[in-house]
Copies of this chain bind each other. A is one copy, B any other.
């Protein structure tokens, strides 16, 4: 693993006093940092924060690899999952499978299945996928810890019905594998009744911290991604990210930079902008991690807080032609995480043969990888010139080790940031209201639902004359 974290661009030297942090400010957080560190380590030892230790579970890796080897007959592996159950698998797929994995013929995929993730209750994506694939060569991986996720469970019901009807009632065992709670939850009895293969989401790991459980590892292994190397990178990073000294721990340092820039410099948004298509869904995964962990109405003391930076996924160089105008000239309210890849997995030399357009001769002879990295340097320069703070992660290449390391770093960064904001980074109370309202609107008939339905019916939408055109 080789990941360097460079925070020069976030300092006052780079972007001035109004928009950068000083080393003194960072060092001023050292004492608080030590307290937060000790609290995290205490909770880790008490097995409350399971995510810390996931990369050390070799037994799980072997079990998953064995299961994956048995799936060479399958052409399609369809994850039924949403939120943390989808973003981990998608992130690993985009980063570490071939860029066009699903389009390659089976031989070029070395017999590995294609991967699909049905992460929405959109009827089109479900029905049309089931229409497009050969059911007999398809395995469904239903992923839900509680078994109560309506989007995922609806899809499971549809898949079960289809398998029973088209292949036979005994075929469920072959075509469904579950990833769910070890004993609790609504899905476990179903697994037992049908003797389904299943993997566990540990009790002490929340959805957004689950990429190194079977949630992320199983689909990755099925595609042929070297999950043992992914975890090796995470373990390496674990050493750097459990240093108690803020100034020597890249996860703590980036959390502190973000916290200071948000609370003292008005940087209310955190842009994650890898310069690599393969890493684009690392940004999408980070977007859930940062938003759901830190966006909280109350702090740990029960006081109103309404905190949380808004994470934004971007893609370099693509978004230079979409967002950078705003980033450079709009309100100075963002901190940027640039992610550089020093060596890409494919070369693309720009040939010298094209002499028809002399104005573009300067591009010839370079590799396209040099162009995208020059664009990263240029954008960092333009942002600094406009006094917009940046940090930069430098990966020597896109390997399982580096991706594992980067994700682990961002998880620790998020947990530590929870300490700085003094909020609970591991709950999500704000989504309950919508869940209850959905159940009420769908006609679940508990007493609480009836009350909720009445409440929905009484609000502004029903009372006022509708304003629309």
Contact = CB atoms under 8 A, between A and B. Distances in A.
Contact of A350 (B87, B158, B297): B158
Interface in A71-128: 82-84, 86-87, 98-100, 102-104, 108, 119-128
Contacts of A437: 377-379, 381-382
Interface in A400-451: 428-431, 433-445
* Interface of A, helix, strand, loop or mixed by DSSP: helix
Given A186-B360, A350-B154, A441-B374, A292 B433 contact: no
A375 interface: yes
A223 to B, nearest CB: 16
A161 B123 contact: no
Contacts of A431: 320-321, 324-325, 328
Given A103-B102, A362-B443, A467 B6 contact: yes
A296 B329 contact: yes
A301 interface: no
A14 B460 contact: yes
B378 A323 contact: no
A331 interface: yes
Contact of A291 (B308, B326, B349, B456): B326
Nearest to A351: B161
A363 interface: yes
Interface in A306-365: 306-308, 310, 312, 315, 317-318, 320-334, 344-351, 353-354, 356-357, 359-360, 362-364
A135 interface: no
Interface residues of A, number: 156
Nearest to A147: B357
A100 B435 CA distance: 29
A368 B430 contact: no
A248 interface: yes
Nearest to A378: B437
Nearest to A105: B132
A325 B433 contact: no
A371 B433 contact: no
Given A121-B372, A363-B150, A467-B6, A308 B323 contact: no
Given A368-B154, A468-B4, A384 B442 contact: no
Given A158-B368, A297-B328, A326-B430, 10 more contacts: A5-B468, A121-B375, A160-B354, A291-B326, A291-B330, A295-B329, A321-B431, A379-B437, A385-B459, A394-B468
13 contacts: A103-B103, A123-B344, A124-B346, A153-B363, A161-B354, A189-B356, A190-B356, A240-B469, A292-B323, A295-B325, A306-B331, A374-B442, A384-B459
Counting from the closest, the 3 A-B pairs by CB-CB distance are A83-B321, A295-B326, A378-B437
